Amino acid sequence: AQSVTQLDSQVPVFEEAPVELRCNYSSSVSVYLFWYVQYPNQGLQLLLKYLSGSTLVKGINGFEAEFNKSQTSFHLRKPSVHISDTAEYFCAVSDRIRSNDYKLSFGAGTTVTVRA
Amino acid sequence: KAGVTQTPRYLIKTRGQQVTLSCSPISGHRSVSWYQQTPGQGLQFLFEYFSETQRNKGNFPGRFSGRQFSNSRSEMNVSTLELGDSALYLCASSHQGQGSNYGYTFGSGTRLTVV
């Protein structure tokens, strides 16, 4: 079974500073990779996804992530954060378990707190 | 295009009662999955329905059940509520299923509090 590890549970950061959220997953032949954001009292919103092709993926709100197959990582970055980026971020990995059926596994989440 | 709608947004129930939560997926999506989110356990997968059939199931007791209707709307039911069932219950819909290249769209969740 796929496992997803988000290496930092809490990341405090100052406004306009860069941030990196780390995500590693257990190896698989082929996976789809996702980052979701959850604002307080809301559901999860898709930030970006990697399906194939370029290993650098750009998402919404200025976020980007880099897929590294050899290190089985999918780290999320933003060069300059805003107060509004304060939220919980989830890395997710999809495994194909049988034809037309996938299993989605989530990491434990990283809470980002942006301070002025 | 309407998003995923979950009702109600908030619920307070007493131990021993049962509860039914509803989820209306995005139009055209055939897969609906349910997750329980708690501070201690994070996001835990409950089950997935695809075209009215339960296709995948997580490790939850039989008190947790669900179903999907022909219009893809889904309900989940929790019987004999326990204090530990207090959580945010999230529904997610997808065109093909869990994490396929279409990704997931989540609803805003139902916050269940058991007292």
pLDDT of residue B95: 78
Does the pLDDT of residue B2 top 80, yes or no?
Answer: no
B99 pLDDT more than 60:
no
**What is the rounded CA–CA span in Å between residue A85 and residue A12?**
11
CA–CA distance, B22 with B68 (Å, rounded to integer): 10
**With 70 as the cut, is the pLDDT of residue B97 above it?**
no
A74 touches chain B (CB under 8 A): no
Each residue of B46-72: pLDDT tens digit? 999 998 999 889 999 999 999 999 999
pLDDT exceeds cutoff 70 at B100: no
pLDDT at A52: 84
| Chain A residues whose beta carbon lies within 8 Å of the beta carbon of residue B92 | 43-44
Q: What is the CA angle B10-B13-B15, rounded to 5? A: 145
CB A92, CB A106: distance < 8 Å = yes
Residues 6+ apart with CB under 8 A from B107: A43, B3, B4, B5, B6, B23, B90, B91, B92
Mean pLDDT within A30-40? 89
Q: How far is CA B89 from CA A12, A116, B22, B98, in A?
A: 27, 32, 10, 17
- Asked if A102 has any chain B CB less than 8 Å from its own CB, the reply is yes
Task: Say if A92 is an interface residue toward chain B (CB within 8 Å).
Answer: yes
Q: Using the CB atoms, write b or e for A17-56: b if 16+ within 10 Å.
A: eebebbbbbeeeeebbbbbbbbeeeebbbbbbbbbeeeee
Give the model confidence (pLDDT) of A79-114 as tens digits.
999 999 999 999 998 877 776 677 788 999 999 999
Best residue of B104, B108, B112, B113 to probe chain A, by most A CBs closer than 10 Å: B104
Q: How far B78 CA lies from chain A's nearest CA (Å)?
A: 20
Q: Do B42 and A43 touch (CB under 8 A)?
A: no
- pLDDT recorded at residue A99: 67
The Cα B8–Cα B108 span in angstroms is 10
Give the separation between CA B39 and CA A2, rounded to whole angstroms. Answer: 22
Contacts of B45 in chain A (CB under 8 A): 104
Question: CA of B47: which chain A residue's CA is closest?
Answer: A103
Mean per-residue pLDDT for A17-38? 90
Phi, psi of A61 (to 5 degrees): 60, 25
Q: Does residue B10 register a pLDDT over 60?
A: yes
pLDDT attached to residue B107: 94
C-beta of residue A85 within 8 angstroms of C-beta of residue A112: yes
Q: Residue B17 — pLDDT band, cuts 50, 70, 90?
A: very high
Whether B6 has a pLDDT exceeding 80, the answer reads yes
Structure tokens at B92: 């997610």
- State the pairing for strand pair A87-98/A101-106: antiparallel
Residue with tokens 């100052």: A14
Option in B98, B99, B108 nearest A42 (CB):
B108
pLDDT at B71: 93
What residues have CB less than 8 Å from A99, skipping those under 6 apart? Answer: none
Q: Looking at chain B, which residue has its C-alpha nearest residue A34?
A: B103
Question: For all residues of chain A together, what is the average pLDDT?
Answer: 91
CB pairs under 8 A between A and B: 64
